[in-house]
Amino acid sequence: MAGTLYLIPTILADDTEAQVLPPQVAMRVAALSCFLVENARTARRFIKRVAPAHIIEQLQISVIDKDSTEAQVQAALEPVLKGQDAGVISEAGCPGIADPGAELARRAHQLGIRVVPLVGPSSLLLALMASGMNGQSFTFHGYLPIERAPRLAAIKKLEQQALQLHQTQLFIETPYRNLPLLDDLLAGLHPGTRLCVAASLTAPNEFIITDTVANWRKRPRPAIHKQPAVFLVGA
């Protein structure tokens, strides 16, 4: 019998375990000794915080990130195929959502391994919940192009989809490029289009504002430089 692959949510901001994670997460982490993680350092720190009785050096921790090959994913799942339960831990938030943990879940299904998601924070869903935009129809696009001309073209296309389909468009950016992206959004979007910026979710300095582009242009730029952020465009 194969083991079970548990998708273990982690925190979005430091020192928020008690506020955002249900007790079942810590209980499951404490019961596991095999982990497949996106980042070994952050995973070890998270495991120690929620399951302090664990001796980290005695745990089996394998790194599966965006550069991992299919062979590496297969090798990481071998202990589960042999009957050992394992936990997948993303660098932040929920495994499999804009995250290489999706490859582990995909392969696990192909191998007949049971996949169990645990409840925890997802920045995308938290941003969508708080935005006031359409939560019935939405699309996540990941990262927009870095070069300005193709990025402005992508912004126009997303705006058209938002208006024509009444569909919320979500995307992210590398945190140190948040403000240039915001500048391009304000330059490229129609004044009546609604824009939401949701940054540092679940942290004490959490920032969530939805307003028209016209009103955003009147605001001082928010303090979102180097802060994890989600951007949403809607009708």
Residue pLDDT tens, the chain, 235 long = 899 999 999 999 999 999 999 999 999 999 999 999 999 999 999 999 999 999 999 999 999 999 999 999 999 999 999 999 999 999 999 999 989 999 999 999 999 999 999 999 999 999 999 999 999 999 999 999 999 999 999 999 999 999 999 999 999 999 999 999 999 999 999 999 999 999 999 999 999 999 999 999 999 999 999 999 999 999 8
Q: Is 179 helix (H, G, I), strand (E, B) or coil?
A: helix
| CA dihedral over 101, 107, 110, 114, signed as positive or negative | negative
pTM over 0.85: yes
Q: How far is CA 168 from CA 58, 96, 132, 145, 179, in A?
A: 45, 21, 10, 19, 21
Domains of the chain and CATH, by start: 4-117 (3.40.1010.10), 123-234 (3.30.950.10)
Beta bridge partners of 233: 169, 195
Is residue 125 within 8 Å of residue 114, measured between CB atoms? no
* pLDDT of the residue at 125: 97
* pLDDT of the residue at 235: 85
Q: How far is CA 106 from CA 5, 71, 84, 147, 172, in A?
A: 11, 13, 18, 32, 23
How do strand 86-89 and strand 194-199 relate by DSSP bridges? unpaired
Give the sheet arrangement for strand 4-8, strand by strand: 60-63, 34-37, 86-89, 4-8, 114-117
* pLDDT of the residue at 123: 97
Q: Which helix (H) or strand (E) holds 142?
A: strand 138-143
For the CA atoms of 156, 195, 101, 87, the dihedral, rounded to the nearest 10 degrees, stands at: 180
Look up residue 137 and give its two tokens: 């129809």
- Report the distance separating Cα 52 and Cα 36, nearest Å: 19
Give the DSSP per-residue string, 12-60: SSTT-HHHHS-HHHHHHHHH--EEEES-HHHHHHHHHHH-TT--GGGSE
